[in-house]
Amino acid sequence: MVIETLEEGNVLVIRPKTDNLDAYNVADFKKEVVAIFEAKPRDVVLSMSYVQFVDSAGLGGILSCMRLMQTHEKRFVIAEMTPQVRSLFELVRIHKIIEIYNTTENAITALSV
Amino acid sequence: MIAATVSPETLRLTFLLAACLCGTVGGVWFAIVRAKRQLFLKQAVEAVENAAFFCLSPAGRIRWVANGAALFPHCRGRACHGKNAAELFAEKEPFAKMIAALGETAACPCPDRPAPDAAAARETFTATPPGGEPFPVGVTLFPRVKTGRTLLLRVEDLRPLRNAEALLRAYRSGEQSIFRHLNERAAEPRRNAFFNGGNIAVLTTPRKEEMAGDFIHLCRADERICDITLCDVKGEGFYAALLGASVRGDLNQVLTGLILKENPPALPAVDAIVTALKATSLERFRKIGAEGVVCYARFNFAERRLDWAALGDAPILHWQNSQKKVAILHGRETQEALRSGTAPFASNDLFLIPSEMLFAMEDPAGQRFSVDRLAAILEETAPAWSELPDPHQQLMAGIMAFAAQEELPPGCTATFAVVGITPEEETIVREHIKIPFDFLPGDLPVMREAAMALLTAADFPPMRNEMIYLALHEAMVNIIEQRDRQGRHDLSGYFEALRYDAMIVWRFVHNLPFFMPIRIKDPKSDGTQDHGYGLFIIDQIADQVLYNRAADGRSLFEMLTLKESGEEAF
């Protein structure tokens, strides 16, 4: 899986370049994100601008990444979710435990405070 | 004169003696009353054959058990008397907390004082039978009522009926569906159960859900036949729970017995079911001086016929839409003979099965509620409710009108079931797709394309389309994962969808073992788990989910999605 990364001060933006985050690519996603994060642990914005579809396995992968960052006492937020993906997060009530921002800029600003 | 002959000392002694005597007599009388109450409770608990009931001390020690407590093999007879009930469950600590919370109420030092109105507590636990497989159970704890220092523990086996396999062979080309999921949904007032040709809703007023003995049981015999049982027991809380459990258990036994009596197994006649139930439940009620009524109705949507029979004089109200009239249908029961009824129905008709005990109650003016009054109010208010889009809304409006006009007493927990007959044109299949699948990841895009085309043709809202596809994706991935986990390279089956005007029915049929979703707990929403969201997502998105067997004996997963979903999230 191709993942774009962008450094903004102490914040790392991770942007998976895929339409789907599901049972068939979530393992790659986790592997890539873990490698990027562990190279230099920082606060992370997961930008979902390319992702149109997330299933329960994809959701589990995102939660697993969130917990990894929390164990390093780093913050993890999500930005630029499509309405469909956001609906899934709301359906399983995960939106209450992950901060979600409309734009990556807003997310970076929030993490930079 | 007496005062002149009896000294004050003697009078004082006499008074003291009389007081002592009164005290002793009072104490003995109190002890007798209490012993009688305890005996009555013991008899009531022990009379329940088919459900696990335990009478507990406030500290959670088991005092008596019903025969149905054999659900836990080590609890047969007196074997578990004196043991702590927390030992029955894997989650000992949470259970002990439930006990502690209600135990305080139960330990009230004044047994004759009316108990505080503590609500029953309900949780789901895991039963741990020694040497057996753990299984999910629903646990309800009732606080003391009038017996003093007692808790009643009801344990419901949440697995499908133990004889499910046999029953499955009996109905629909040798099968019966255990409609547990539907039954659970039916207990929620906002939910309806949908059939091909009918639409069923239930309402318990004023309480949100059944906490005591009343219950409604739905059983789908096949795609066009549904049996509805409405049980109404007199009383509330503690005893009502016992009686309701007793009837529910009897009903299961009676149905199983009658179905398997025929060779090949066949759906028994309504009369036969009620007659057999009468012989068991009514006798048990009499033994413990209790009352209860049961109405058993069978809707045959294919033949547009209703058959019913009742223990008691349970009426069914038939809203005849073409004539805008309510007909009162009685299934009378006498000591000698039990009579059942049959009624034909038309499109847009509505059947209301009210709880019969409602008609044994009185309004504040001392007048009995009557079925005639209910029918008259329903007719009078029909212009307001008959145009509402679904029978549940119609029921709500009709019953609320009745409640408003008749001033239902605050403690009344009447239960109603309503069956709406779908207009004929809505039962026509507009489009049917069937695609053979080997359940490989490559089948996913094929399914997406077919599903989206169908959803677009059905004119579902685009946002809902995506969510419905998500549910289908979850179902398919689940099957693929089972395939890989079990190494079943012989897996085959098909994906099928039927589009009606107002809904789409989606089916996956495959040859993996039958799946029991009730073993799965809802996922935690605290982000601490990576797996277990799939079935939860399906359940949240679909309007109805059914795990069953297809006519050819293979496993069937069926999901129904309505165009106008009750879920406002979309």
pLDDT in tens, B61-120: 888 777 667 667 677 667 788 888 888 888 888 888 888 877 655 444 444 443 444 566
pLDDT at A81: 95
pLDDT at B110: 41
Q: Which residues pair with B18 in a beta bridge?
A: none
Assess: ipTM above 0.90.
yes
pLDDT at B403: 60
* Interface of chain A toward chain B, CB-CB under 8 angstroms: 22-24, 53, 55-57, 59-61, 63-64, 66-67, 83-84, 87-88, 90-94, 96-98
CB contact under 8 A, B530 and A55: no
Q: Which of A99-113, B141-155, B540-554 has the lowest mean pLDDT?
A: B141-155
Average pLDDT score over residue span B9-35 = 74
Q: In Å, how far is A60's CA from the nearest CA of chain B?
A: 4
Distance CA B394, CA B388 (A): 6
Average pLDDT score over residue span B324-343 = 72
Contact B135, B521 (CB under 8 A): no
Q: Which residues pair with B316 in a beta bridge?
A: B329
| Cα B99 to Cα B57, B82, B204, distances in angstroms | 9, 15, 27
Q: Which residue has the tokens 């398997």?
A: B260
What confidence tier does A96 reach under pLDDT thresholds 50, 70, 90? Answer: confident
Q: In Å, how far is B546's CA from the nearest CA of chain A?
A: 20
pTM: 0.58
pLDDT at B418: 78
pLDDT at A79: 96
What confidence tier does B397 reach under pLDDT thresholds 50, 70, 90? Answer: low
Sort out which chain A residues have CB atoms less than 8 A from B529's CB and list them. Answer: 60, 63
Sequence-distant contacts of B465-469: CB under 8 A, at least 24 apart: B466/A53, B466/A84, B466/A87, B467/A84, B467/A87, B467/A91, B467/B541, B467/B570, B468/B504, B468/B541, B468/B542, B468/B561
Contact B201, B222 (CB under 8 A): no
Asked if residue B329 has pLDDT above 90, the reply is: no
Q: Which residues pair with B243 in a beta bridge?
A: none
The alpha-helical segments, DSSP class H, found in B201-261 are 237-261
Chain pair A-B, CB pairs under 8 angstroms: 68
Q: Which of A9-23, B411-425, B556-570 has the lowest mean pLDDT?
A: B556-570
Sort out which chain B residues have CB atoms less than 8 A from A97's CB and list them. Answer: 525-527
| Cα B471 to Cα A23, B66, B382, B444, B539, distances in angstroms | 14, 42, 38, 12, 8
Asked if residue B325 has pLDDT above 70, the reply is: yes
Contact A26, A60 (CB under 8 A): yes
pLDDT at A4: 93
Contact B200, B170 (CB under 8 A): no
The answer for B445, left when phi > 0, alpha when psi is -120 to 50, beta otherwise, is alpha
Cis before B206? omega within 30: yes
**Complete edge-to-edge strand list for the sheet that includes strand A76-79:** A3-8, A11-16, A43-47, A76-79, A99-101
Contact B113, B69 (CB under 8 A): no
Phi first, then psi: give them for residue B193, nearest 5 degrees: -110, 130
Name the closest residue on chain B to residue A94, using Cα atoms: B525
When scoring B448, B470, B479, B480 by the number of chain A Cβ atoms within 10 A, the one with the most, hence best to mutate, is: B470
Token digits of residue B221:
């015999």
CB contact under 8 A, A84 and B528: no
Q: Which residue has the tokens 């006492």?
A: A73
Distance between first and last Cα of chain A: 31
Cis before B264? omega within 30: yes
Sort out which chain B residues have CB atoms less than 8 A from A64's CB and list them. Answer: 530
Q: Nearest to residue B120, comparing CAs of B224, B7, B203, B239?
A: B239
Q: In Å, how far is A105's CA from the nearest CA of chain B?
A: 25
What confidence tier does B236 reach under pLDDT thresholds 50, 70, 90? Answer: low
When scoring B444, B463, B526, B533 by the number of chain A Cβ atoms within 10 A, the one with the most, hence best to mutate, is: B533
What confidence tier does B170 reach under pLDDT thresholds 50, 70, 90? Answer: very low
Q: What torsion, rounded to 10 degrees, do the Cα atoms B309, B315, B319, B323 define?
A: 100
CB contact under 8 A, B525 and A55: no
Q: Which residues pair with B343 in a beta bridge?
A: B306
CB contact under 8 A, B467 and A56: no
| Cα B468 to Cα A54, B339, B348, B445, B506, distances in angstroms | 13, 46, 28, 14, 10
Contact B158, B185 (CB under 8 A): no
CB contact under 8 A, A64 and B530: yes
Name the closest residue on chain A to residue B526, using Cα atoms: A97
Sort out which chain B residues have CB atoms less than 8 A from A88's CB and list them. Answer: 470, 537
Phi first, then psi: give them for residue B469, nearest 5 degrees: -60, -40
Distance CA B524, CA A94 (A): 9
Name the closest residue on chain A to residue B467, using Cα atoms: A84
Q: Nearest to residue B310, comparing CAs of B297, B300, B324?
A: B297
Distance CA B385, CA B375 (A): 14
Mean pLDDT for all residues in chain B: 72
Phi first, then psi: give them for residue B131, nearest 5 degrees: 75, -5
What confidence tier does B444 reach under pLDDT thresholds 50, 70, 90? Answer: very high
Q: pLDDT tens, B181-211?
A: 333 333 343 345 666 777 777 665 544 334 4
CB contact under 8 A, B569 and A90: yes
| Cα A12 to Cα A47, A79, B23, B325, distances in angstroms | 10, 12, 83, 70
Contact B434, B494 (CB under 8 A): yes
Q: Which residues contact B237 (CB under 8 A, 6 or more apart)?
A: B120, B142, B145, B211, B212
Distance between first and last Cα of chain B: 93
Q: Which residues contact B451 (CB under 8 A, 6 or more apart)?
A: B468, B469, B472, B497, B506
Q: In Å, how far is B141's CA from the nearest CA of chain A?
A: 29
When scoring A92, A96, A100 by the number of chain B Cβ atoms within 10 A, the one with the most, hence best to mutate, is: A92
- Rg (C-alpha) for chain A, rounded Å, is 13
Q: Which residues contact B55 (CB under 8 A, 6 or more apart)?
A: B41, B42, B45, B62, B63, B64, B65, B150, B151, B152, B153
How do strand A11-16 and strand A43-47 relate by DSSP bridges? Answer: parallel
Sort out which chain A residues have CB atoms less than 8 A from B527's CB and list them. Answer: 63, 66-67, 94, 97-98
B540 vs A59, A83, A91: nearest CB? A91
Sort out which chain A residues have CB atoms less than 8 A from B525's CB and list them. Answer: 92-94, 96-97
Distance CA B138, CA B159 (A): 10
Name the closest residue on chain B to residue A54, using Cα atoms: B470
The alpha-helical segments, DSSP class H, found in B333-461 are 371-385, 391-406, 443-457
What confidence tier does B146 reach under pLDDT thresholds 50, 70, 90? Answer: very low
Q: In Å, how far is B533's CA from the nearest CA of chain A?
A: 6
* Interface of chain B toward chain A, CB-CB under 8 angstroms: 441, 463, 466-467, 470, 473-474, 477, 480-481, 523, 525-531, 533-534, 536-537, 540-541, 569-570
Name the closest residue on chain B to residue A63, using Cα atoms: B527
What confidence tier does A71 reach under pLDDT thresholds 50, 70, 90? Answer: very high
pLDDT at A55: 95
Mean pLDDT for all residues in chain A: 93
Report percent pLDDT > 90 for chain B.
Answer: 10
Q: Which of A61-75, B171-185, B241-255, B269-283 has the lowest mean pLDDT?
A: B171-185
pLDDT at B239: 65
CB contact under 8 A, A88 and B470: yes
Q: Which of A95-109, B495-509, B534-548 has the lowest mean pLDDT?
A: B534-548
The answer for B230, left when phi > 0, alpha when psi is -120 to 50, beta otherwise, is beta
Sort out which chain B residues have CB atoms less than 8 A from A53's CB and list them. Answer: 466, 470
Q: pLDDT tens, A72-81?
A: 999 999 999 9
CB contact under 8 A, B477 and A55: yes
CB contact under 8 A, B531 and A60: yes
The answer for B285, left when phi > 0, alpha when psi is -120 to 50, beta otherwise, is alpha
Q: Which of B50-59, B403-412, B540-549 has the lowest mean pLDDT?
A: B403-412
Contact B233, B216 (CB under 8 A): no
Q: What is the 3-state secondary structure (H, E, C) of chain A?
A: CCEEEEEECCEEEEEECCCEECCCCHHHHHHHHHHHHHHCCCEEEEECCCCCEECHHHHHHHHHHHHHHHHCCCCEEEECCCHHHHHHHHHCCHHHCCEEECCHHHHHHHHHC
When scoring A19, A54, A56 by the number of chain B Cβ atoms within 10 A, the one with the most, hence best to mutate, is: A56
Distance CA B401, CA B382 (A): 10
Q: pLDDT tens, B514-547?
A: 665 655 666 776 767 777 788 889 988 887 777 7
